[in-house]
Every structure is written in structure tokens, then in C-alpha cells.
Amino acid sequence: MMHAESQQNMVEIRTLRKSFGSNVVLRDVDLTVKKGEVVVVIGASGSGKSTLLRCINLMEVPDSGRIVVGGEPIGQQNKDGSFRMFPEKIVNRKRTQIGMVFQHFNLFNHLTALENVTVGPISVKKMAPAEARELGMQMLTKVGLADKADAYPSRLSGGQKQRVAIARALAMQPMLMLFDEPTSALDPELVGDVLQTMKQLADEGMTMIVVTHEMGFAREVADRVLFFDAGVMLEEGTPEEIFTNPREERTREFLRRVLSPSAPGTTGSGRPATVTAIR
């Protein structure tokens, strides 16, 4: 969780816009994330949550706006209003400092868990293989998978694959971690270990932006919750504010639906909900 001494900004986004054809996905989004802060982004599918993450590390190039990560701009608005990426050298260096964990694990099936974790440090950071292996084992130990170092992805459960993906991102020693619905492809019984790993990172002070439908995680771990609707950050606040007394009717409607679509006290996936009922 965020500590008082870590108040400098890690991410600053101003008037960020992104469209795909005529579909406007992000509409003048302003967002500041402080160092050590855990920000959870919620909202219906298609509300712009994942696109926001992909713009932060320039997997998607915004139409306009300004993005600063770790005090260094990686892109900003030209005088004509269009978005200008900074030189490739700057962007690539910044990307190595931003860890990204996806819904689908994107592991290399022909590499062991340890090899998946070490490939980035060796190929991108030019780390010596022995040093990378030591670092990789440290990261696998952190996510509770040291005993799976020599296992190939085909021998791992979905939850184990996702924890290897987290270890892989951590091996690049990022300043910021982005999680794009990291548990949505997992069977319910496999979710807990992944969420626990993420909670551990939060407790250690990692700056995190997490897109998720796991409302219990948002309630327990987030410093701040953002609700996105139709490309707009409609509401933000502490978990207590968002989950017990949201200001916007659209937020209340979304939370009522996601917390009890099929039965009282369950999330959309049927998992137990650990958040207070919405007023």
C-alpha cells in the first residue's frame, strides 16, 4: 500500500484521447498515479480500461494527450493536437521499466518457466546468463514457484502460468506494473494465488495500475478505485467511497450488476463477494 514518504508522481496523463476508427475509446482522460500507489480500474467491457493501460506503455499510440512515466515524458501533444511519440530510444527504455501482465499469459511454450523469466533480462538488458538465472530464481521464489523453474508451460496450471508471467515482468525490475484483467481467464479455484501474489507486490510498495473484475481485491488492496464508462473516468475515490457510497448512478448500476448478477453475495464469475452491499 502507499506510504507517506512515497508521494511523488509515477504516472501523469493529461487529456488522453484514443479512437479506433469512429469509435472513441478514451475521451480526454486525466490521471495521476503516485509512486507506491495501487490504482484499480473498474468498468464494463468496452469502457476503455485496457486501452488506457496499452496507451501508458505505447502498445497503442494515443490520438492526442500527454503521458509522463517516472518523471519522463514518453509522448505529448503536437501544436496541431496530434500525439507525438518521443524518440524510439526513449520509448523502448521506458517500456523496459513498465511491467505488463495480460489476461492470457503469453508465455513461450518451448521455454521452461525459468527461461521465460530470464529471456527479457538477457535479450533486452544484456544481462549475463548466470546473473539472469539468479535473478529469475529470485522472482520465481517471490511468486511461490521456485519448484517449477524447469517446468514447461504445458505442465503448469493457469494460475501458475500467470504467476510465471508476473515473475517475468518483475525480472525486468520495473518501476510500474500494469495488470490487464490478470485473473479473468482463470478457473475460480486458481484465482486466489495470483491475487495473493499481487497483494504481496502492493504491500512491498510496487506502483500498480490494475484492471480487474475482482471487486474483493479492489476493496482490500487498492488505494484508489477508478470507474470508467464509455471512455470517461466517471468517478474515482477510495474503495470505501466507491463501494459503499458511489456518487454516480452509473457506478451504482454497474456495481449492483457485477456484485449480484446471479445470486446475492457473488461476483460476475460466481465467486464470493467481499464488498459491502451498494446503497
24-59 pLDDT, tens digit each: 999 999 999 999 999 999 999 999 999 999 999 889
**pLDDT > 90? residue 80:** no
User: Using CA atoms, how far apart are residues 150 and 137, in angstroms rounded to an integer?
Assistant: 11
- Predicted confidence at residue 138, as pLDDT, reads 97
Which are the contacts of 251, defined by CB distance < 8 A and separation ≥ 6?
227, 229, 234, 235, 242
User: What is the residue whose three cell numbers read 521452461?
Assistant: 112
Please give the mean pLDDT across all residues of the chain. Answer: 88
Which are the contacts of 79, defined by CB distance < 8 A and separation ≥ 6?
none
* Confidence band of 22 (pLDDT split at 50, 70, 90): very high
- Predicted confidence at residue 272, as pLDDT, reads 42
Residue 36 phi, psi dihedral angles, 5° rounding: 85, 0
User: Using CA atoms, how far apart are residues 169 and 177, in angstroms rounded to an integer?
Assistant: 8
**pLDDT > 90? residue 231:** yes
- Predicted confidence at residue 260, as pLDDT, reads 73
**pLDDT > 70? residue 173:** yes
Q: What is the CB neighbour count within 10 angstroms for residue 75?
A: 22
Identify the bridge partners of residue 224 per DSSP, sorted by sequence position: 39
- Predicted confidence at residue 86, as pLDDT, reads 81
Query: Quick check: helix, strand or coil at residue 169?
Result: helix
Helices (H), the chain: 49-56, 88-96, 113-123, 129-142, 158-170, 191-203, 215-221, 239-244, 249-259
User: Using CA atoms, how far apart are residues 49 and 229, in angstroms rounded to an integer?
Assistant: 9
Residue 4 region by backbone torsions, left for phi larger than 0, else alpha for psi between -120 and 50, else beta: alpha
DSSP 203-249: HTT-EEEEE-S-HHHHHHH-SEEEEEETTEEEEEE-HHHHHHS-SSH
- Predicted confidence at residue 261, as pLDDT, reads 53
If you ran DSSP here, which 8-state letter would residue 277 be given? P
- Predicted confidence at residue 85, as pLDDT, reads 81
Type of residue numbered 135: L
Long-range contacts of 240-247 (CB under 8 A, 24+ apart): 242/42, 243/215, 243/218, 243/219, 243/275, 243/276, 243/278, 244/276, 244/278, 244/279, 245/279, 246/278
Q: Cα-atom radius of gyration of the chain, to the nearest Å?
A: 19
Q: Are 32 and 13 in contact (CB under 8 A)?
A: yes
User: Using CA atoms, how far apart are residues 193 and 195, in angstroms rounded to an integer?
Assistant: 6
- Predicted confidence at residue 6, as pLDDT, reads 39
